[in-house]
Amino acid sequence: MAKAMEEMTWQEVEAGGIISEPGNASSYHTGTWRSQRPIYIEEKCIRCWRCFIMCPDAAISADMGGNRMVWNYDYCKGCGICAYECPVDAIDLSEEGE
Amino acid sequence: MGRKVGIEVSIAAAEAVGLCDADVVAAYPITPQTHVVEHLADLVADGHLDAEFVPVESEHSAMSVCCGSAAVGARTFTATAAQGLALMAEIVYIAASMRLPVVMFLSNRALSAPLSIWNDHSDTMMVRDSGWIQVFCENGQEVYDSIFHSFRVAEDPAVSLPVMINVDGFTLTHVIEPIEMWTKEMAGKYLPRFKPVNSLYPDRPTTMGAFAVPEIFAEQKMAHDHALKNSMPVILKAWDELAELTGRKYVPVEAYKTEGAETLIFAMGTICETASLAVDRMREQGKKVGLVKLRLWRPLPMDELRQLLGKAKDVVVLDRSISMGGASAPVTSEIRALMYHERQRPKIHCVVAGLGGRDVTPLDVEKMVDMALTETSYDYHFYGIRG
């Protein structure tokens, strides 16, 4: 996106609200919506990847080299599904800002 | 110059769409719009119009198809009335907000209930704020010419907005009038090929109809409002060129015998012809009455209206719909708001008349004016209601 959405004036927005730049949804950081932050407990994790599969965004990925799961907090909305689904309680939810 | 023929206004409108070489017609038949769609179906079936005729299962789908076809750059037409418009209302807003240049023939009919197939303006007032360019027609020639004008304006890259042509159901759609038809050459000269500002095309991917978060929504709305207001010069230029081509000059607002008038009747649509006869009679009686006919409802020609109405002592607005439980009727509230800050402003009276096809004669208009001028309450009046 040429300019951050929240800085665009009415003269600058695209006619009809079209998006002419493909894939620019990634420039919108939905992680700002989060009120609860998933905390990964590496020692408990059995690497089943269930969190990766269940994440409704694509905010969880596997760090193959480091043999661990990684959260992208730019897009994690803190829905808590990963923590709920984790079979070994390796994901804690903590209040944002604590 | 084309031939002048006696023809039903709906059929003439469909013929005009044919001359405009529309690519897609998506519509669902509904009284009193039916003849337009039926004739377009004939034109396509008989090979006179090379268009995709989509006989959809509802008006919601009709306007959805129109959005899709306009989005790929096809010249797109639809027609509906009352309940059909209500069903498609969701997509009516979307067509405008997405800046898709659809042309719609709206045969104005009362909204149910009680169920009525007859004419008033309650349907169109429902989508008043949808962001379409909206014109009202007084006679058949105007309807016919409006089809060409509407495509021309809607598809102009500086505009790229849908246009709604308001045609009073039955009182205009079903009458046979002498109409001077255009030739194919005239239409070709007047109407350039449609080149959409943005188009769904694989080589240049775009997302249309995306959602907007609060940070950008209001900016989009303001941009749309400005686009609608800025369509005015294009609308005027297209009417000027139509005048060069046909000799018929259209303007956003027309004044009839307003010179020295103390009282002005304000109206839209076919009731203007009735009101003009009433003005003739009242002038003969020495009454200083004139008529202001509004053709362009959106964008509203505010400066011209302020100038015209500001000179009068009284303005009597003939409203063809009501705003239940409100301060007045839809057109009157607009005119009152328009004049409120003027230093010299007339009293603006609201007469609700002609609902659900109730006939309004020139004598009725005279009575309405008398009633309005002697009123003691300035809210609104129903005319001709028993009891």
Question: Is B293 within 8 Å of B256 (Cβ atoms)?
Answer: yes
- Work out the pLDDT band at A27, boundaries 50, 70, 90: confident
Question: Would you place residue A2 in the very low, low, confident or very high pLDDT band (cuts 50, 70, 90)?
Answer: low
Within 10 A of B232 (CB to CB), how many other CB atoms are there?
18
Please say whether the beta carbons of B226 and B162 come within 8 A. Answer: no
Q: How confident is the model at residue B1 (pLDDT cuts 50, 70, 90)?
A: low
Per-residue confidence (pLDDT) for residue A21, from 0 to 100: 85
Structure tokens that stand for B265 in this block: 């009747």
Q: What is the pLDDT of residue A72?
A: 97
Q: What is the pLDDT of residue B102?
A: 98
Q: What is the pLDDT of residue B202?
A: 86
Per-residue pLDDT at A1 exceeds 70:
no
pLDDT band at B198 (very low <50, low <70, confident <90, very high): confident
Instruction: With CB atoms and an 8 Å threshold, state whether B198 touches A18.
Output: yes
Sequence-distant (≥ 6) Cβ neighbours of residue B147 within 8 angstroms: B13, B16, B17, B20, B103, B105, B165
Nearest Cα neighbor of B130 from B157, B168, B104, B169 is B104
Residue A51 · residue A91 · CB < 8 Å: yes
pLDDT-derived band at B197, boundaries 50, 70, 90: confident
Task: Kindly indicate the confidence band of residue B241, based on its pLDDT and cuts at 50, 70 and 90.
Answer: very high
Q: What is the pLDDT of residue B86?
A: 98
Residues of B with CB under 8 A from a CB of A: 97-100, 160, 197-198, 204-210, 212-213, 215-216, 218-220, 222-223, 226-227
In this prediction, residue A3 carries a pLDDT of 79
Average pLDDT over residues B180-195: 96
Domain boundaries, chain B: 4-246, 254-382
Mean pLDDT of A69-92: 97
| Options 3.30.300.30, 3.40.50.920, 3.30.1600.10, 3.40.50.1970; CATH of B254-382 | 3.40.50.920
Which pLDDT score is estimated for B379? 80
Within-domain flag for A23: no
Structure tokens at B172: 């205009």
> What is the number of other CB atoms lying within 10 angstroms of the CB of residue B343?
5
* Inter-chain touch A17–B209, beta carbons under 8 Å: yes
Q: Which of B207, B215, B222 sits opposite A18 (nearest CB)?
A: B207
Test B198 with A5 for CB contact under 8 angstroms: no
What rounded mean pLDDT belongs to chain A? 93
State the pLDDT confidence band at A80, using cuts at 50, 70 and 90.
Answer: very high
Domains B4-246 and B254-382 share a fold: yes
**Mean pLDDT, range B140-147, rounded to an integer:** 98
Q: Which of A8, A22, A28 sits opposite B205 (nearest CB)?
A: A22
Domain that holds residue A65: 28-95
B219 and A13 in contact by Cβ < 8 A?
A: yes
Q: What is the CATH number of the domain that holds A62?
A: 3.30.70.20
From B93, which residue of chain A is nearest by alpha-carbon distance?
A16
Over residues B65-73, mean pLDDT: 97
Under the banding of pLDDT at 50, 70 and 90, the label for residue A41 is very high
Q: What's the confidence (pLDDT) of residue A98?
A: 66
Q: Distance (Å, rounded) from C-alpha B211 to C-alpha B189?
A: 39
Contacting B with CB below 8 Å, chain A residues are 5-6, 8-20, 22, 28
Q: Which of the residue ranges A62-71, B116-125, B194-203 would you say has the lowest mean pLDDT?
A: B194-203
By C-alpha distance, the chain A residue nearest B207 is: A19
What is the reported pLDDT for B150? 98
Between helix B59-71 and helix B82-97 the angle, nearest 10°, is: 30
Q: For residue A6, which residues of chain B lie inside 8 Å, CB to CB?
A: 215-216
Q: What is the mean pLDDT of chain B?
A: 96
Please report whether residue A32 resides in a domain. yes
Residue in A closest to B157 by C-alpha:
A15
User: Which of B99, B197, B223 has the CB atom closest to A10's CB atom?
Assistant: B223
* CATH code assigned to B4-246: 3.40.50.970
All residues of chain A having their beta carbon less than 8 Å from the beta carbon of residue B218 are 10
Number of domains observed in the structure of chain A: 1
When pLDDT is averaged across residues B329-335 and rounded to a whole number, the result is 97
Question: What are the E-state strand segments in chain B?
Answer: 4-8, 24-26, 52-54, 76-80, 103-108, 133-136, 163-168, 176-180, 253-256, 263-267, 289-294, 296-298, 314-319, 347-352, 381-382
